Amino acid sequence: MERQMVRPDPSGLPSVYERPGTLTDTPFHYCPGCGHGVVHRVLMEVVDELGIQEETVGVAPVGCSVFAYNYLDIDMQEAAHGRASAVATAVKRMLPGKYVFSYQGDGDLAAIGTAETIHTANRGENILVLFINNAIYGMTGGQMAPTTLLGMKTTTSPAGRTVETAGFPLKITEMLAMLPGVYYVSRNSVHTPGAVRHLKKAILKSFQYQKENRGTCFIEVVSNCPSGWKMTPLEANKWMEEHMFPLYPPGEIKVPK
Amino acid sequence: MSDLRLMKGNEALAEAAIRAGCKGYFGYPITPQSEILEYLALEGRSRGMVVLQAESEVAAINMVYGGSGAGARVMTSSSSPGISLMQEGLSYIACAELPCLVVNVNRGGPGLGTIQPSQGDYFQSVKGGGHGDYRLLVLAPSSVQEMADFVFDAFDLADKYRTPVLMLADGALGQMMEKVAFREYNPADHVVAKPWATTGKPGTRERNIITSLHIEPEKMEQINLHLQEKYRLIAENETRCEHFHTEDAEYLIVAYGLAARIAKGAVEMARAAGIKAGLLRPVTLFPYPTAAIRRLADMVRGVLVVEMNAGQMVEDVRLAVEGRVQVRFYGRMGGVIPAPDEVLGALEEMVKEHAAQHEEVY
Ligand SMILES: Cc1ncc(C[n+]2csc(CCOP(=O)(O)OP(=O)(O)O)c2C)c(N)n1
Ligand code: SF4
């Protein structure tokens, strides 16, 4: 492919920040300000640092990140909507020595794929589940998600989500943390450098735990969707802090004793 | 051929899967095929197989996707309602060209229906079932011996063509006990290289991507053309059928699976009564033995199609016969198994009708 390992620096100065070698040199198709791209980058930084490109297989289902395989320079499987954790389960069972992760949106993981999500976690499959919660269906144009906040306007809750018609936002991460098969649960974001560093640590830990066959590691990233939310990237991040964080507070939710 | 054993069809199939080198089984219980999962849970696990009871057939078929994409021989089995749930996944598997074995031990429908044997899933099996232009390679066993034999064939065909293979049986074949001999089969001799599998990307190759997503219509059309060419090749090379007394037949029965066994009895009874009847049994339902049926249609006076459904395969027989002779249908539904004398009755009616028409003409 078009991947370059290190860009020569015309100034001759040492390069202190560059694209991870396992991220392809393909421009992201994500909207400006979208969190997906940052999560991709952090994930591949970890793959680079651990030197596990050859040992890693990813699964990305339908959703805005369905094209993740265009960017992540590792073996990848695209999964049907909602089925990423089932697909990842089988990949891991067939290749127990590999690092396997799924990368799923909130519609995928917490609506159509709820059963697969819960049972994968309940079996304690030795995989990392990366859950991108932007409280909306990005790919299909901004419909209500199971994680959509009360009062939040989407194309299918034009007057704002109400309990009467759509019930409460689903805190699936807390639900999963209750399962004994789940070893590590962490909620993150990628809207500040500190948050990005925290996510990176969480991913590093998860791969370490996976190597030790500890069970399912689950990382939520509370993210944004400037397009679906109809906000500028800055507004979206501010709105996320003010409205998403109270319901989905970042932090370590389940850590090994 | 060695060790002759008395086994249920479902168990013979499961045993064959282990011997064929199947590495992963993913399935959900449903009558009349739960013995497959049960047998493998006991026998398969202890012989090195991953046997996972999935949370649903939806999960199971997507596990098959993942496991096959990872390069392993994998399978699932279910019965009619469960196979319905798998259709989206099968469509993905066909498009992503993932070899695997799917077993449908057909029961009576529609709806929850009955656990009794049926052939009501013929359309679903051979016409696509899920969305888009794809086919499954469909093998239809008609004995416990074939429940075992076709497993080896299915895995080899799946690997050869990178395509999902469906074994379409029915509740009776799954449940009945017959003697079975397992063929000599060393999986190591049947290993097909899978350079496309997602086994982890070494520095020496490009990354492998298993996907069925091709957003540009021109690309998607190319994928479709490639699939269609593959199906054409499969039709050219893998069409199988069994002939029974067709050489001198004046009346032809076409039936598959359990219905074919019953029809064989009817053919013998008809021959004893002086009617020159023969049977053509499609062994592959896709590809369909259209040419063989067409050839026979030029020789015979009439064709009777016998199925355990409302008349599904009969459409393919009519397409093959192209109006050369009359095509009649006899079927029972909802899990009722036709008896040989019922089939004979339908055959005799056809003979009588032909004779009457014959008289009119002259
Ligand atoms: C069976 C099925 N139903 C519906 C869809 C349409 N669809 C594609 S992506 C999507 C929702 C994606 O939302 P999410 O998982 O939250 O990911 P995001 O796009 O927000 O990253 C839907 C409904 C589909 N592809 N398949
Ligand atoms: S639609 Fe939303 S989630 Fe999708 S790429 Fe754009 S901003 Fe990101």
Report the alpha-carbon distance of residue A29 to residue A70 in Å, rounded. Answer: 10
Q: Given CB atoms, is B62 within the 8 Å cutoff of chain A?
A: yes
* Ligand 2: residue whose CA is nearest its atom 8: A34
pLDDT band at B44 (very low <50, low <70, confident <90, very high): very high
Hey, how many other C-beta atoms are within 10 angstroms of the C-beta on B237?
11
ipTM above 0.90, yes or no: yes
Q: Do A90 and B213 touch (CB under 8 A)?
A: no
Per-residue pLDDT tens digits for B81-98: 999 999 999 999 999 999
The SS3 call for residue A45 is helix
Report the pLDDT value the prediction gives residue B18, as an integer from 0 to 100: 98
Report the pLDDT value the prediction gives residue A9, as an integer from 0 to 100: 64
For B334: left if phi > 0, alpha if psi spans -120 to 50, otherwise beta; the answer is left
Q: Scanning the structure block, which residue is given the tokens 């409460």?
A: A168
pLDDT band at A16 (very low <50, low <70, confident <90, very high): confident
Q: Which of B59, B72, B211 sits opposite A69 (nearest CB)?
A: B211
| Cβ contacts of A59 on chain B, cutoff 8 Å | 66
pLDDT band at A1 (very low <50, low <70, confident <90, very high): very low
Is residue A139, in this structure, part of any structural domain at all?
A: yes
Q: Closest residue of B to A61, CA-based?
A: B211
Is residue A91, in this structure, part of any structural domain at all?
A: yes
Report the atom number in ligand 2 closest to the C-alpha of A142. Answer: 1
Is residue A140, in this structure, part of any structural domain at all?
A: yes
The SS3 call for residue A255 is coil
| Cβ contacts of B213 on chain A, cutoff 8 Å | 66-67, 78
> With a threshold of 0.90, does the pTM exceed it?
yes
Phi, psi torsion values for B305, nearest 5 degrees: -105, 130
Per-residue pLDDT tens digits for A134-162: 999 999 999 999 999 999 999 999 999 99
Contact present, B185 and B3 (Cβ < 8 Å): no
Instruction: List the domain range (segments joined by +) for residue A127.
Output: 36-254
Is residue A239, in this structure, part of any structural domain at all?
A: yes
CB under 8 Å to B262, separation ≥6 — which residues? B255, B306, B337, B338, B339, B340, B343
Report the pLDDT value the prediction gives residue A14, as an integer from 0 to 100: 84
Q: CA A35: distance to chain centroid?
A: 9
Q: At what angle do helices B57-69 and A114-122 cross, to 10 degrees?
A: 70
Tell me the residues of chain B between 72 and 91 that have a Cβ less than 8 Å away from chain A: 72, 74, 88-89
Per-residue pLDDT tens digits for B243-267: 999 999 999 999 999 999 999 999 9
The helix (H) or strand (E) run that includes residue B223 is: helix B217-238
Domain harbouring A197, CATH code: 3.40.50.970
Is residue A15, in this structure, part of any structural domain at all?
A: no
CB under 8 Å to B311, separation ≥6 — which residues? B305, B329, B331
Mutation test of ligand 2: which of A40, A67, A139, A223 has the most ligand atoms closer than 8 Å to its C-beta?
A139
Contact present, A178 and A256 (Cβ < 8 Å): no
Report the pLDDT value the prediction gives residue A103, as an integer from 0 to 100: 98
CATH number of B241-361: 3.40.50.920
pLDDT band at B232 (very low <50, low <70, confident <90, very high): very high
Third-level CATH fold of B2-201+208-238: Rossmann fold (3.40.50)
Tokens at residue A15, please? Answer: 């390069």
How many angstroms separate the CA of residue A99 from the nearest CA in chain B? Answer: 9
Is residue A20, in this structure, part of any structural domain at all?
A: no
Contact present, B41 and B14 (Cβ < 8 Å): no
- How far does the centroid of ligand 2 lie from the alpha carbon of residue A220, in Å? 17
Lowest-pLDDT choice from B2-11, B15-24, B102-111, B157-166: B2-11
Pinpoint the residues of chain B covered by CATH 3.40.50.970. Answer: 2-201+208-238
| Interface mutation vs chain B, best among A89, A94, A99, A108, most B CBs within 10 Å | A94
Report the alpha-carbon distance of residue B136 to residue B153 in Å, rounded. Answer: 14
Q: How many domains does chain A have?
A: 1
Q: At what angle do helices B57-69 and B87-96 cross, to 10 degrees?
A: 10
Pinpoint the residues of chain B covered by CATH 3.40.50.920. Answer: 241-361
Report the pLDDT value the prediction gives residue A15, as an integer from 0 to 100: 82
Q: Which of B24, B66, B210 sits opposite A86 (nearest CB)?
A: B66
| Cβ contacts of B206 on chain A, cutoff 8 Å | 1
